[in-house]
Structure 1
Amino acid sequence: MADGEEDFSSLPLSDRWVHKVWKVRKEAYEAGAKAFDAAQSENDPLVRQFTNDSSLWKGAVADSNVAAQQEGLGALISFLQIAGKDGCVRTRGSTIAPIVEKGLAATRPAAKQKALEAILLYIELDKAEPIIEELLPFMSHKQPKIIAATLGAVTQIYHAYGCKTVEPKAVLKILPKVFGHADKNVRAESQKLAVEFYRWLKEAMKPLFWGDLKPVQQQDLEKLFDQVKDEPPPKQERLLRSQQAKVEQAAATGGGEEDDEVEDEAEVEIDLDSVYEAVNVFPKIPSDLQERLASSKWKDRKEGLEDLQKAINHPRIAEGQFDEILRGLAKCMKDANIQVVIIAANCIELLATGLKKSFSRYRGTVMSPIMERLKEKKQSVTDALGAALDAVFASTSLSDCLEDILECLKHKNPQVKLESTRFLTRCLKTTRDAPQPPEVKAIADASIKLLTESQEVQRNAGAEVLGTLWKIMGDRAMGPHLNDLDEIRKTKIKEFCEAAEVKAKVKPPKAAPPPKAPPGKRPVGKKPAAAKKAAPAPAPAYVEPPSPAPVQTPRPAARPISKIGGPKSGLKAPGGLRPPGGLQKRIPAPALSSPVRNLVSSDDEPAPPPPKPMANRGLASRPLGKPAAQQQPESSMTVSGLSGLSSAERAELEELRMENDRLRRENEMIRHEKQKLSSQYAELDDHNKELIEKHTQDHLSIKAKEAQLTRARSDAEALEQQVQSQQREIERLKRELSRQVRASSPAPMDLGVDNAFAPSGAESPGLNNGYGGYRNSRSYVTSPTAKSMASGLGFTSAEGKENFAPRNGMGAFGTGSPRSSRLGMRTPDSELPPTTRPSQSSSLSSGAGRGNADGESWKRAAEVTQNLKARIEQMKAKQGLSSRPR
């Protein structure tokens, strides 16, 4: 040690533990941790000292020096690991509060981790309720960092031990308060805690605090819940010491029973019913509910059901007489208005959820009407009815509902059959009690019938039921029901089996000591106790080939025979009997006299061959002189030879008879199954023939349609070719017409504008333009082609001849309308302005001669045109084409 520093190592550990120098305390904490790790048991003197004096730990976990505090938390962890439950109970009252205030809120991450580990150890050593009670006040601490640290520790507690080990109800009630805290870190930690609760409780946690949250807070939480909604169910990561002891005991005994119990405890859903107070809903239910439900107006019925829904919307409902209400709701299942049906189904769901197991007595009232209404195809109605059925099933059991479900699986309506199958699948997935063998057989038989349905969705639903049942019962129980299915169906069922998540488990039978031989089951080669005491060494059993036992009748001179052979006499024959001749072979020599010697009289039978020497069968220990009359009550076949059988052999005989009866019953069942399969085969064969016939008809119909289509296509192509030929002919005729018109037209003449369009035999005076007597130098020639163009456009003058107005210098055709100007039509003189009308006073002498020539040209062109039109009409008439007017 450095100079000037005092050596405190000689002081006792308890003195150094509370020393005023933090370095001394730190060294004491380190030394204490090493001592606790080296201790052998909780009875170690140092461990007992710190167990009895819990005040030592209060100062250690709340040390003012952060370095010393970290070591003090480490020493506490070492102490708890060796001190056990006694040290935990004695010290937690002094240490939890300092751990929260100083440890969880420490600045060093290592100190925080050790503080959290100490809290988890306190829970592991005993139970969680005292620790949660210590932590709850810190959730309303004045310092936000203390609240955030406490919420983080609580989140880690539930993450490690789960909501089944640590009761969540008290913490759930405080959540709305911390959600509205002003500090963002507190709000963030509260959201993490809510998400952890949702992983374990799902929607069951919402009724406790959801209504106290603001809409914005609800939306934020819903987003966080969606992220973990599809995660697999969580499992407990740390076990309590009591749970660890069960696991160790199971490992020591070699059985997994305790492991299964621990797993079952972790998988059981958390029941939050005790958190809610039962509400008496009858004062809130409308007094005129039945009258409103019986109203002829659907709006009155709907409003009555809505008022009922508001009155019973509570997580827990007090028990009462709901018979009349449920009868009214069952009647609403037949309502024609689907809104009434939906609200009625919601009311049934709320009542079943609120009453829990008390609702089971109303199951028969509502279940059948609900399943009958499953014929509705609207998805909203189907969802509401399915939720109501699930709530009804949750209040009862699979055995109670199975009869109604199996009856609906045979329903004639395919929609009812499909939804009932889906409901059965949900029941198998949620039930915690595995079905009994008769129920398994009933479910399997009904589901196998669904595999032959015509609709694929129905076949898949039946396969899902079988797969879920397979997951619950296992291969051994389901093998006999699935052996007769083909490989394709087995593969489909196996896929559903692997994907199914069930809660029920078939536990294997407990290991028991070797069973005692049943009354009729005797191990070969062993003797009863009395025979063993009499015979020192058992003789080898004499086995004779089985032969049919003849029917024997009592004889008057029957002589009794002793019970020879004991359990090893080897009496083996069908039914457990040996023919009398065999018995006589086992009888010793006649020299051995006894009052009970022979079974039957041999007066009319040949003498038996000499018997084989036999070992001592223990006859000395039996009363040889007992009269046979005392043995007759044991069996009605004494005279026929059964009096010679021992009790074990008679028991074996009864066992063989029972086995024979069982085999006979199995044979009958197999015969019945064979008949059923034969009928199914015949039905499938008929269905196959119908399908083949339908397929043939469809094939022939398709072929006929294809032939019609081919003919229609060929007809269309022929018509197209005909139309094209007609179009080519029309084009040829048009070209010929144009050629003839051009050939018959005279050469163009250079005429002035004054007589360019003058009629034949008339003189056209000069035409002055409207711009100071300027004469247009442009000339137009009247030709038959121009006449035909004008005639085709429908523009004619008063004399029946076409006149075209000459263009002026502005590019317009006279002063007529724009349309007539564009088409080159001349405006009649009567429509021209006075200044533009042609003068009638003068004309050129040459104009008259040219006018006569033009008139002759027009006549020849008209004749040619008429001839061509006549020829076109004749050709059209020959080809069957009608001339359409233009």
Structure 2
Amino acid sequence: MAEEEEFSKLPLPDQFTHKNWKARKGGYEIATQEFKTAQPTDPIVREFIFESNLWKGAVGDSNVAAQQEALNAYNAFLDAAGTEGARRTRTSTVAPCVEKGLLGRPAAKAAALETLLLLIELDKADPIVEELLPFLSHKLPKIIAATLAALTAIYHAYGVKTVEPKPVIKLLPKVFGHADKNVRAEAQTLTVELYRWLREAMKPLFWNDLKEVQQKDLEKLFEPVKAEPTPKQERLLRSQQAAKEAAPAAAADGGAAEDDDEEAAEIDLEPEYEAVDVLSKIPKDFSDRLASTKWKDRKDVLDEVFALVNVPAIQEGSFDDIIRGCAKSMKDANIAVVTVAANCVECIAKGLRKAFSRYRSTILSAMLERLKEKKVSVTDAIGAACDAVFLSVGLADIQADVLEAMKNKNPQVKEISTKFLIRSLKATREAPSLEQTKEFAEAGKKLIGESSATLRDAGAEVMGVLWKIMGDRNMLNHLEGLDEIRKTKIKEFSDAAEVRAKWKPKAAPAPKAAPGAAKRPAPGARKVGAATPKRTGAPPPRAAASPTPAEDSRPASRPGIKPAGGLRAPGAGLKGPGGLQKPGGLKAPSSGTASPKRQGMILDDTPLAQAKSGLGRGLAGRPLGKPAAAPPSPPPAPRFDSVSSSALSSIERQELTDLRNELELLRNQNSDLRQDKMRLTSQISELQNQNAQLIEDHTRDVLQIKAKETQLVRARSDAESAEDRANSLTHEVERLKREMSRLGRGHMVHGGESRIEMSHERPSAHQSRSYGINSRTYANEAYGDDQGKENIPSGASYDGKLSGISAPVSHHRPMSHTSSGRATPNSMGGDEIGSNASLNRSGSDGGVESWRRAAEVTQNLKARIEMMKASLFH
């Protein structure tokens, strides 16, 4: 106990940072009690506002019991400090609140969740959601699951209008793909909660990224939600609470306002896409090809255009030529051309959205006229294009064309145009005006009297959908003159119709605003200025004396407001000489300068603007019981609150103006960044195209190289086979040479013996002739002509003829060989010698010719071999 008493004597900041957890826990408990009764201006509150780091350690206290008390103390502090405390501390406390608080004990978990809800309530939800989204990528599954559960509670309490759903919806596929089943279960719970608010409008943002099994599981969970009514916001922001209290007159229209909020949330869910520059890629000869006499050419150019415009978003530009071409194609005799043209119009309308309104008059009537086509695929394509045109331009713009088509002589055009009108009435978010309702109802009544059952049903459905939108008060008078059977049929269609728009009497507030516009008191400056005795008199002198006191009282009461000749109070938005007022003067701030978002706070100024007789314009204008104010005595009680609220609202208006300027700056920066992104995207696309071209060229080169390699392999194979054949032929030539050499050596031996014999004794004529023949044959055939000349014996002269070798022999006497081996002169005469020589010569000529032919064949083979070698290796 003594230790605890010692801890309690320390200042609260020291207790918050003490090492002992009991000291910290005691400090948190003391702070909780003090904050419960503190005001925003108390020193303790201001101290903890400026020392925001104290809360970071407290909310993330390591001791579980101390952390629970710290969360309770922080909640009490936020309740006392208000918006300023939340803004100063939320960047330091959200992370530990998630990591420690949402994973703690049940009491700590509930306190941490209340902390997150309270931080949103005091200011706005966007900063808190931005702090929570990174935890969806945390490495610990339990932190991801706790964050998803906190987001579910946030959307359940504040709804999708207060808390922007788009960033969370885009991250749903990631958490659905987590490995932990608890994370996936919490993701399903969050998705169902979002579906309660958004229904089918949320699916385009994430549905296609889920697995088919996950889609089926979610559809089962969506089934019971579909039967529930649209939920209402359970917890209001402090700004919403102030607006609701300050404008009790708007309580009756609260349901309508909530409906507007829901509609705005649905509109906000449009996916954001990068706009694509389509016009620069449209074929230059589009008009010429579309005017071709061949339907194939017309369809091809429309196919090219469709491939270009089939993108989610299209940059604005001049699409007049394309739309006129599509309108002309609606009259084409070929249904394929009509279908592609309708598809092009659908894509352009979806891509341009509101910018498509300038082309509506060119294309819509032509498409409605072509609905007479009997081919269902053509009418479906045209119907889809008409729906896209409606979503781009709205109900009022299509009214004239649709009503004209409903009077067409062709029953099919009437029927499909009426169905198009029914789809448009169900999809519109703005209820038709009373004049539009009258025209649509008259067209529907005419169809009810048609002879065709389908046309009668279509007319009855038009009346039923209008009844559902406009209500009994606006539609019962249009049902007069119809029998009960038809009224029952119309009522059935009305009960079954699902519409997005509900008629609201928007003209009702106008009479209330009209008197305020003609009031004499000047806006802004006169209400916040200090009252003077002159302004407490009757209305006539007040009007005359009002300028000077107002100018004198402004600097004293509101130092931030400029004197006469300057700007009026922040938020008034109107310039004028200080306080000068004419009978038809300026309107009250609530009637002119305030934007729709500021209307709720400006409604408090209405009682001041309605005071006409002697009411002061300042906080201390006059006592409540003064006789001069006796007639309007009931309103004075709320006047002080209204003036105070007006003063506060002026400051807030100034902040709002600054924030709007910052928002405009951010939007400009965002636009610049988008343009840069588009430029970079275009460059990336060009580089991708270049890369694809390079890849294609590389592939072609590789194929060419492979073809060349194949040819080279084949050539090498052919060269090897040719070389083998050349080698075989070379071997054959060598064999022939050896054979010739062998034969030549035999003749050489025989010739050598003759020479030996001749060296000893004279040879006979026969021997001489034989020597000469053999020598010449050897010389000519075995060694060639030149070598033959060199190898001829020195005693013979070679002239290329056989007589060259026999000439020397004729000078010797014929010899005969004796048995002793010695040569003796032959007894034969000269005639016999000549006869034998001629026989010898004729016998040897045939051998010479054969050897000559063999030599020529050999030379030819050698030449062919050399040519083959040269062709193979060159």
Per the alignment, residue 477 of structure 1 pairs with 474
2:56 counterpart (55, 58, 63): 58
Per the alignment, residue 113 of structure 2 pairs with 116
Provide closer, same or farther for how the CA distance between residues 149 and 210 of structure 1 changes in structure 2, counting only shifts above 3 A: same
Provide closer, same or farther for how the CA distance between residues 22 and 339 of structure 1 changes in structure 2, counting only shifts above 3 A: farther
- Contact kept, 8 Å, 1:431 with 1:504, in 2: the verdict is no
**SS of alignment partner, residue 497 of structure 1:** helix
Amino acid of the structure 2 residue aligned with 1:424 = L
What's the CA shift for 1:492?
A: 3.1
Amino acid of the structure 2 residue aligned with 1:368 = S
**SS of alignment partner, residue 393 of structure 2:** coil
- Contact kept, 8 Å, 1:175 with 1:190, in 2: the verdict is yes
Per the alignment, residue 22 of structure 1 pairs with 21
For residues 200-279 of structure 1, the aligned pairs below 5 Å read 213=209, 217=211, 220-221=214-215, 224-225=218-219, 227-228=221-222, 230=226, 235-251=232-248, 253=249, 256-257=252-253, 260-268=256-264, 269-271=266-268, 275-279=272-276
Per the alignment, residue 361 of structure 2 pairs with 364
- Contact kept, 8 Å, 2:357 with 2:392, in 1: the verdict is yes
Per the alignment, residue 88 of structure 1 pairs with 86
1:130 counterpart (127, 130, 134): 127
Amino acid of the structure 1 residue aligned with 2:279 = F
Q: Higher relative contact order by CA 8 Å / sep ≥ 6: 1 or 2?
A: 2
User: TM (normalized to structure 2)?
Assistant: 0.53
- Structure 1 residue 75 corresponds to structure 2 residue 73: yes
Amino acid of the structure 2 residue aligned with 1:86 = E
2:305 counterpart (299, 308, 319): 308
**SS of alignment partner, residue 316 of structure 1:** coil
What's the CA shift for 1:225?
A: 4.7
Provide closer, same or farther for how the CA distance between residues 235 and 174 of structure 1 changes in structure 2, counting only shifts above 3 A: same
- Structure 1 residue 415 corresponds to structure 2 residue 409: no
Cα distance in 1 for partners of 2:185, 2:380 equals: 36
Provide closer, same or farther for how the CA distance between residues 463 and 250 of structure 1 changes in structure 2, counting only shifts above 3 A: farther
What's the CA shift for 1:327?
A: 2.4
- Contact kept, 8 Å, 2:68 with 2:111, in 1: the verdict is yes
Provide closer, same or farther for how the CA distance between residues 235 and 377 of structure 1 changes in structure 2, counting only shifts above 3 A: farther
Cα distance in 1 for partners of 2:53, 2:479 equals: 69
Amino acid of the structure 1 residue aligned with 2:345 = I
Identity among equivalent pairs (%)? 59
Cα distance in 1 for partners of 2:106, 2:295 equals: 66
- Equivalences, count: 509
**SS of alignment partner, residue 275 of structure 1:** coil
Cα distance in 1 for partners of 2:370, 2:491 equals: 32
What's the CA shift for 1:160?
A: 3.6
- Structure 1 residue 436 corresponds to structure 2 residue 433: yes
Amino acid of the structure 2 residue aligned with 1:328 = G
- Structure 1 residue 323 corresponds to structure 2 residue 323: no
- Contact kept, 8 Å, 1:207 with 1:315, in 2: the verdict is no
Cα distance in 1 for partners of 2:30, 2:143 equals: 30
Cα distance in 2 for partners of 1:348, 1:486 equals: 42
- Contact kept, 8 Å, 2:192 with 2:221, in 1: the verdict is no
Cα distance in 2 for partners of 1:378, 1:400 equals: 28
Per the alignment, residue 636 of structure 1 pairs with none
What's the CA shift for 1:351?
A: 1.3
**SS of alignment partner, residue 167 of structure 1:** coil
Cα distance in 1 for partners of 2:56, 2:441 equals: 65
Amino acid of the structure 1 residue aligned with 2:432 = P
Cα distance in 1 for partners of 2:186, 2:286 equals: 47
Per the alignment, residue 674 of structure 2 pairs with none
Cα distance in 1 for partners of 2:436, 2:510 equals: 26
What's the CA shift for 1:360?
A: 0.4
Higher deviation after alignment, 50-59 or 159-168:
159-168
Cα distance in 2 for partners of 1:220, 1:22 equals: 46
What's the CA shift for 1:392?
A: 0.7
Cα distance in 1 for partners of 2:337, 2:101 equals: 60
Cα distance in 1 for partners of 2:303, 2:177 equals: 33
Per the alignment, residue 32 of structure 1 pairs with 31
What's the CA shift for 1:297?
A: 6.2
Per the alignment, residue 162 of structure 2 pairs with 165
**RMSD of the TM alignment (CA)?**
3.5
Cα distance in 1 for partners of 2:35, 2:300 equals: 72
Provide closer, same or farther for how the CA distance between residues 337 and 23 of structure 1 changes in structure 2, counting only shifts above 3 A: farther
Provide closer, same or farther for how the CA distance between residues 316 and 515 of structure 1 changes in structure 2, counting only shifts above 3 A: closer
Amino acid of the structure 2 residue aligned with 1:103 = G
**Any unmatched runs of 5+ in structure 2?**
516-874
Per the alignment, residue 759 of structure 1 pairs with none
What's the CA shift for 1:338?
A: 4.9
What's the CA shift for 1:200?
A: 5.1
1:410-453, Cα deviation, whole Å (9 max, x unpaired): 12222221222222222223334443333222222111112222
Provide closer, same or farther for how the CA distance between residues 473 and 6 of structure 1 changes in structure 2, counting only shifts above 3 A: closer
For residues 276-287 of structure 1, the aligned pairs below 5 Å read 276-287=273-284
1:547-605, Cα deviation, whole Å (9 max, x unpaired): xxxxxxxxxxxxxxxxxxxxxxxxxxxxxxxxxxxxxxxxxxxxxxxxxxxxxxxxxxx
- Contact kept, 8 Å, 1:164 with 1:270, in 2: the verdict is no
Provide closer, same or farther for how the CA distance between residues 116 and 255 of structure 1 changes in structure 2, counting only shifts above 3 A: closer
What's the CA shift for 1:367?
A: 0.9
Amino acid of the structure 1 residue aligned with 2:98 = V
What's the CA shift for 1:95?
A: 0.5
- Contact kept, 8 Å, 1:468 with 1:502, in 2: the verdict is no
Per the alignment, residue 543 of structure 1 pairs with none
What's the CA shift for 1:185?
A: 4.0
**Any unmatched runs of 5+ in structure 1?**
517-886
Higher deviation after alignment, 369-378 or 421-430:
369-378
1:477-512, Cα deviation, whole Å (9 max, x unpaired): 333322322333333333433444241423251174
For residues 870-881 of structure 1, the aligned pairs below 5 Å read none
For residues 586-665 of structure 1, the aligned pairs below 5 Å read none
Cα distance in 1 for partners of 2:230, 2:327 equals: 36
1:506 counterpart (504, 507, 521): 504
For residues 813-824 of structure 1, the aligned pairs below 5 Å read none
**SS of alignment partner, residue 267 of structure 2:** coil
What's the CA shift for 1:363?
A: 0.6
For residues 687-836 of structure 1, the aligned pairs below 5 Å read none
User: TM (normalized to structure 1)?
Assistant: 0.52
